[in-house]
C-alpha cells in the first residue's frame, strides 16, 4: 500500500451510532465491530465492507469485559481480549468459540506474520505471543522505561512497534523495540502534550505494508502518521473529523480504508459509539 504523505484524509462513511465501540477489524468482505453492552452477552456486529449494511451479530459466550478485537486472515477467525477474566476468546465465522487464559490482564491485540496472536499486557509490561490454538509461544518483557504499554504490532523484521503512556505517566510515546524486547531502537513522543511531536494517551496502532505507522492519539482526538523510522509526517485524522474521542482503529490495506472508533462519554463511562471510515 502506498501512503500519501500530504493532502486531506477524506471521510467516506460514518457507521451507525449505538453502544460504545471498543474494537474494529476487517476480514475478507466484512467489517466487525465489537460493542460494549453493559450487563449483556458480548456481540460482534458484522457489516458488508462495500455497502456497510449490518449482516448479522455473532455472540461471544462467557465474555465479561472485552476491550479489543483483531482478525486472522489465515485461519478466518476473530480474537477478543477479556481483561476481567484474563483470557482471549477466539471466534470463527461459523460462530464457534474457544477460550484460553492469558494469566495476566490482556490489553490490545494484533496478529503477526506467522499468524500468531500478539497480546499486550499493560500492568506487567509484557508482550505475550500465542499460537492460533492458544499455546503460549513466549513472553517478551519490555524495557523499564516503557510504562503502561497498550498496543504492540510485530514487524516482519521481528521488531515491535509499541505505544505506551497512561493518563498519569510522565512519558507518552511510540517506540520501535528490538525483537527480544530489551532495547528501544527508535521512538517518537515524550512528555504528554498537544504538539505535533507529542501524545496524550497514544492508544492504538496500525502499520501498513511499507511500515508506515498510524497512531490513535486518544486525548488529543487525532490519528498521527509516522514514517517507518518513527518520524512525524502528518495528522491522518484531525479532531474536526471526529464527533467524540477515538480509541481503536483498523487499516484495510487492500481497499485503502482506515476505520476509527469514535465514542462519547458522560465523564465516567463511554455512552455512545460509532466508526468513521476514512480514505487513506
Residues 162-190 pLDDT 10s: 999 998 999 999 999 999 999 999 999 99
The residue-averaged pLDDT of 153-158 equals 97
Domain that holds residue 116: 10-267+275-279
What CATH number does residue 171 fall under? 2.120.10.30
Which residue from 84, 1, 12 is spatially nearest to 241, judged by alpha carbons?
12
State the pLDDT at residue 125.
96
| Sign of the dihedral defined by the CA atoms of residues 234, 277, 245, 90, in that order | negative
174 lies in some domain: yes
Q: Residues near 248 by Cβ (< 8 Å), separated by ≥ 6?
A: 21, 22, 23, 24, 68, 108, 203, 204, 216, 260, 261
The residue-averaged pLDDT of 20-48 equals 89
Higher-confidence position of 268 and 26:
26
Of all helices (H) and strands (E), which one includes residue 213? strand 213-217
Specify whether the CB–CB gap between 105 and 121 falls below 8 A: yes
Q: pTM (2 decimals)? A: 0.95
108 lies in some domain: yes
Measured distance CA(6)–CA(133) in Å, rounded = 42
pLDDT, tens only, 90-142: 999 998 999 999 999 999 999 999 999 999 999 999 999 999 999 999 999 99
State the pLDDT at residue 8.
58
The residue-averaged pLDDT of 54-62 equals 88
1 lies in some domain: no
User: Position of cell 502534550?
Assistant: 193
2 lies in some domain: no
pLDDT, tens only, 76-101: 999 999 998 899 999 999 989 999 99
State the pLDDT at residue 110.
98
User: Position of cell 459509539?
Assistant: 273
Residue 174, all three cell numbers: 511510540
Q: How far, CA to CA in Å, does 233 sit from each of 6, 98, 171, 259, 279?
A: 8, 41, 21, 20, 17
5 lies in some domain: no
The residue-averaged pLDDT of 13-29 equals 95
Question: What is the band of 1 on the pLDDT scale with cuts at 50, 70, 90?
Answer: very low
Measured distance CA(136)–CA(108) in Å, rounded = 17
Q: How far, CA to CA in Å, does 13 sit from each of 8, 70, 139, 273?
A: 15, 21, 39, 14
Residue 251, all three cell numbers: 487499516
4 lies in some domain: no
State the pLDDT at residue 7.
52
Query: What is the number of structural domains in the chain?
Result: 1
Amino acid at each position: 500500500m502506498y501512503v500519501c504523505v500530504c493532502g486531506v484524509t477524506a471521510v467516506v462513511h460514518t457507521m451507525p451510532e449505538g453502544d460504545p465501540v471498543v474494537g474494529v477489524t476487517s476480514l475478507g468482505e466484512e467489517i466487525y465491530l465489537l460493542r460494549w453492552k453493559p450487563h449483556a452477552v458480548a456481540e460482534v456486529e458484522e457489516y458488508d465492507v462495500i455497502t456497510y449494511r449490518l449482516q448479522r451479530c455473532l455472540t461471544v459466550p462467557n465474555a465479561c469485559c472485552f476491550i479489543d478485537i483483531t482478525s486472522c486472515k489465515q485461519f478466518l477467525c476473530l480474537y477478543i481480549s477479556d481483561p476481567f477474566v484474563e483470557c482471549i476468546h477466539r471466534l470463527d465465522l461459523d460462530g464457534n468459540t474457544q477460550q484460553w487464559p492469558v494469566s495476566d490482564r490482556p490489553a490490545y491485540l494484533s496478529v503477526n506474520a506467522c499468524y500468531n496472536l500478539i497480546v499486550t499486557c499493560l500492568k506487567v509490561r509484557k508482550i505475550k505471543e500465542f499460537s492460533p490454538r492458544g499455546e503460549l509461544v513466549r513472553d517478551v518483557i519490555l524495557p523499564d522505561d516503557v510504562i503502561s504499554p497498550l498496543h504492540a504490532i510485530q514487524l516482519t523484521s521481528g521488531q515491535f512497534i509499541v505505544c505506551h503512556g497512561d493518563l498519569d505517566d510522565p512519558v507518552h510515546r511510540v517506540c520501535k523495540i528490538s525483537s527480544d524486547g530489551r532495547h528501544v531502537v527508535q521512538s517518537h513522543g515524550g512528555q504528554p502534550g498537544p504538539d505535533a511531536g507529542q501524545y496524550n494517551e497514544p492508544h492504538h496502532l496500525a502499520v501498513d505494508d511499507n511500515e508506515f505507522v498510524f497512531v490513535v492519539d486518544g486525548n488529543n482526538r487525532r490519528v498521527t502518521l509516522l514514517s517507518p523510522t518513527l518520524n512525524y509526517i502528518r495528522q491522518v485524522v484531525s479532531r474536526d473529523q471526529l464527533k467524540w474521542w477515538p480509541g481503536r482503529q483498523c487499516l484495510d490495506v487492500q481497499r485503502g480504508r482506515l476505520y476509527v472508533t469514535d465514542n462519547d462519554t458522560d465523564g465516567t463511562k463511554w455512552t455512545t459509539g460509532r466508526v468513521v471510515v476514512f480514505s487513506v
